[in-house]
Structure 1
Amino acid sequence: MPRSIGKLRLVMALVLATAAPALQARDAASPAARPEPDAAANGEVYRLGPGDKLRITVFNVEAITGEYTISSGGQVAVPLLGAVRAEGATTQQLADAIRTGLDGTYVKDPRITVEVLSYRPFYILGEVNQPGEFAYKPNLTLEQAVATAGGYTYRAARKKAYLRRAGEDEQVVRFGRESRVIYVHPGDTIRIGERYL
């Protein structure tokens, strides 16, 4: 009987040793195991802007760790540092700026992370059923944005839209089978025009 138990343990150890690398490879390949990219749309690097809500973590410094909203002036008010420029920066660049401000003066070798809790909204108007301001979600396409606003009205020109990104001029985006997918960014304004018979 003890010999049978010993053989069973040996077999179990061999099975686990064989299965472990496969399980580790599977876990590494799974989406949950990969870190989220610092991006908002289709792999593009996301630049922070007014209205974004952030979680700033300074390890072992609870006085600074917390939730922050970027002001209309594009800054974040960080305790001990005051206003830190955030507009146009990536989360990593903002973390680096906070680290530089704290290092040596207030905190020795600070470790900082910045993550986006919620993005600034996008806007859609014109010939949609529910025009207005909507919460942004990463990888939102133009067609999905129209669906979020209740879809087109019966008067809508469905083959084109007018898109204005923050700080840019309005551009015409055309729809069709061969058209590329257009991604919406936080802060974008979309206008759906009226069709003419």
Structure 2
Amino acid sequence: MVARMAVLVMAAFTAGCVASSADKGAAVVTGSTSGSSYADSPAASSTDAIKPARTATAEAANEARLATAAGTPGSDGYRVGALDVLTINVFKVDDLNKTVQVSESGKFSFPLIGEVQASGKTVSEIEKTIGSQLETNYLRNPQVTVLVKEYNSHRITVEGAVKKPGVFPMQGPMSMLQAIASSGGVNEDSDGTLLLFRKVDGRTGVVRYSMNDLRQQKTEDPDLQPGDIVMVPSSDLKVGMRYLLQTAPLARSFLLL
């Protein structure tokens, strides 16, 4: 598990570009898949870096909120995926009120109209598809409502010093503390540091949080996105990272644990 966490940290490290906040609260660290570093160039740190250094916890927390896309479960822009469960209601036509699961191929079967493509579409788009096909041959002005009952296609990963590390489905909106709770809580060898790994528009980023600050509401508990990785470093990993930071100058620009 320590080796797996080290790989995650090094993956973001080799992307190498930083924006950090004050010691309290969240420290934002952004990266680029290009592998270039901005740390050792004064000009780059002031003008070319992806994000400027943070001077307040509120700014760092706001940066994390802005990175959350509309595709998060529970949002209007959520796009249905394979294995999601949908509840479909057609007003005043009880025989067409169904609960269906999207297949691995991204489709589901619906009475009268057959297979419906769902994967990659919003619930509004699915409503229009069903309504249009029903109206063509069967009903006059059908009123169709589609809701996501289970978000099984989107998952987050919790690794490191937690009791039950693993991959967890996002059954609606999920915050970082909720993800930690789903994994059974942190182990004794954790000091409460939490690392949130996220990819946005091809760029890799890491945000460091303090569990105590989240619990005491000093820092806003961030909503997670599908594909996010929450890593809880253990004491062994932190010792290794300190050694790395002391021996590799570039590492000092990435993340101080």
Alignment deviations for residues 96-141 of structure 1 (CA, whole Å, 9 cap, x no partner)? 1111111131222211111122222634242121123445343321
Partner SS state of residue 89, structure 1 = coil
- Structure 1, unmatched stretches of 5+, are 1-37
Q: CA deviation at 1:158?
A: 2.0
Q: CA deviation at 1:54?
A: 1.0
Which residue pairs with 1:183 in the alignment?
223
**What is the one-letter code of the residue matched to 2:150?**
S
Q: CA deviation at 1:40?
A: 3.3
Alpha-carbon distance between aligned partners in 1 of 2:170 and 2:118, rounded to the nearest angstrom: 19
Alpha-carbon distance between aligned partners in 2 of 1:168 and 1:51, rounded to the nearest angstrom: 26
Alpha-carbon distance between aligned partners in 2 of 1:99 and 1:139, rounded to the nearest angstrom: 28
Which residue pairs with 1:132 in the alignment?
166
Greater helix fraction, Structure 1 or Structure 2: 2
1:151 aligns with 2:190: no
Partner SS state of residue 96, structure 2 = coil
Which residue pairs with 1:161 in the alignment?
196
Query: Do 1:70 and 1:76's aligned partners in 2 also have CA atoms closer than 8 Å?
Result: yes
Q: CA deviation at 1:143?
A: 2.3
Query: Do 1:74 and 1:87's aligned partners in 2 also have CA atoms closer than 8 Å?
Result: yes
Query: Do 2:90 and 2:145's aligned partners in 1 also have CA atoms closer than 8 Å?
Result: yes
Alpha-carbon distance between aligned partners in 2 of 1:44 and 1:111, rounded to the nearest angstrom: 19
Query: Do 2:155 and 2:168's aligned partners in 1 also have CA atoms closer than 8 Å?
Result: yes
Alpha-carbon distance between aligned partners in 2 of 1:163 and 1:67, rounded to the nearest angstrom: 33
**Equivalent residue pairs, number:** 157
Query: Do 2:195 and 2:231's aligned partners in 1 also have CA atoms closer than 8 Å?
Result: yes
Query: Do 2:158 and 2:180's aligned partners in 1 also have CA atoms closer than 8 Å?
Result: no
1:78 aligns with 2:110: yes
**What is the one-letter code of the residue matched to 1:162?**
F
Alignment deviations for residues 47-67 of structure 1 (CA, whole Å, 9 cap, x no partner)? 222222111112343443210
- Structure 2, unmatched stretches of 5+, are 1-70, 240-257
Query: Do 1:58 and 1:110's aligned partners in 2 also have CA atoms closer than 8 Å?
Result: yes
Alpha-carbon distance between aligned partners in 2 of 1:93 and 1:146, rounded to the nearest angstrom: 34
1:196 aligns with 2:234: no
Q: CA deviation at 1:154?
A: 4.0
Q: CA deviation at 1:80?
A: 2.2
**What is the one-letter code of the residue matched to 1:66?**
K
Of the structure 1 ranges 50-59 and 136-145, higher mean CA displacement relative to structure 2 is found in 136-145
Structure 1 vs Structure 2: percent identity of aligned residues? 25
Q: What TM-score does the superposition give when structure 1 sets the normalisation length? A: 0.64
Q: CA deviation at 1:168?
A: 7.1
**What is the one-letter code of the residue matched to 1:182?**
P
**What is the one-letter code of the residue matched to 1:158?**
T
Q: What is the Cα-based RMSD across aligned positions, in Å? A: 3.2
Q: What TM-score does the superposition give when structure 2 sets the normalisation length? A: 0.51
